[in-house]
Structure formats: C-alpha cells, structure tokens
Amino acid sequence: MTRELPKSIAEMQDIIDIESIVRSAYPGWIKLIIMILLAMFFCAALIWAIRKLWKRFGGPDSAVVMTIEQLALKDLAKLKKKQWPEQNKWPLYYFELDEILRRYIQLRFGFDLLDKTYEQIRSLLKSGAAAPEFLQLPSVTISELKVFWEGAQLIKFAKMPGTVADCEKDFMMVKIFVETTKQAKS
C-alpha cells in the first residue's frame, strides 16, 4: 500500500503538486474582499477606542465648566437616580448626601468640612471659627443643617433605620440650601 520514494526525476513527474490546489482554494478576489473587511473592522475599532479615550481624558465634553451649584445639583440628581431609600440602604444614602452637602459648603464658602466629624463642625459653629460668609447665613438655615447632620449621624453610624419620607425631606432641604445660597453671577 505504501509507495516507495521516487529514485529519479523521471519518476517524480507523475506526483501531483499540492501548491496549485491550495493556492486556488479561494480565488484572489475573495481574499481581497476579506482583507478589505478586516482592515475596515480594525479601523472602526481604532476610531471607537480613540473617541472613547478622547471623551474620558480631555475631549470637548470634559472642557465644560460647571459652577459649584451645578455640580452639587448634578450630584444630587445622580443620588436620586440610585434609589437607595427604596432599597433600604439608608447609611449609603446619608453618607453620599452628607458628602455632597459638605463638598458644596467647602467649595462655596471655603469652610473645610470634608475631613471633620460632626462634633468638630458643631464646636466650630459654636466658637464662630467657621468661614465668615457661612456664619452670615440665617440662624434658621444653620439650625436646619445641624438637625440634618444629627439625623445623618444616627443613620450612618448608629444604624438607625430611616424612612423614605425623611430621605425625601432631607434631600429637598439640601437641594433648597444649594439653590438659595448660590453665588451671584459676576
């Protein structure tokens, strides 16, 4: 069954060359179309990756300058979309709401609150060591903030359960505070 190897060139004449069979398996025009489609796919993937990186690291969208109030209201809208009160995630909700409020006060009034505990904030307010513009706010507003911070501390750290109504009330208080204390346009 096995054939012997040819011993001369004359015996090799009858062997069929496989090169012509393999080369003609796909016509040249099909290979050309496949290469063009692959090139188009890689170009599209490259353009998509460049656009995604452009938007993330300095594209036209990131050049938009937002005011402090717009930033706080945008963060509040994001918090609202998370629907944590409906999922009974009270500590997460109040951590983020408190952080939004503290960041806004820090940026708007220059009163650094992000790294301070509630007790430190309360003692700063009592001693009058807070930012002067912040201390000029109506006492009712500062009282509302104190009540909010006291309730937030209980929910965040004492794991006291909250209610959806309280969350909505506190959310609206923070939103109204941001809207009423925004800076006048220069």
Closest CA to 183 of 70, 64, 99, 98: 70
Domain membership of residue 118 (yes or no) is yes
DSSP string across 94-129: HHHHHHHHHHHHHHHH----TT--HHHHHHHHHHT-
100 and 147 assigned to the same domain:
yes
- pLDDT tens, 98-139? 999 999 999 988 888 888 888 888 888 888 887 788 888 888
Closest CA to 73 of 178, 157, 180: 178
Distance CA 108, CA 133 (A): 9
30 and 94 assigned to the same domain:
no
Structural domain boundaries enclosing 141: 68-180
41 and 131 assigned to the same domain:
no
Number of structural domains the chain divides into? 2
**Neighbour-count burial of 152, counting CB atoms closer than 10 A to its CB (0-12 exposed, 13-18 middle, 19+ buried):** buried
21 and 79 assigned to the same domain:
no
Domain membership of residue 145 (yes or no) is yes
pTM exceeding 0.95: no
- pLDDT tens, 70-102? 999 999 999 999 988 888 888 899 999 999 999
96 and 166 assigned to the same domain:
yes
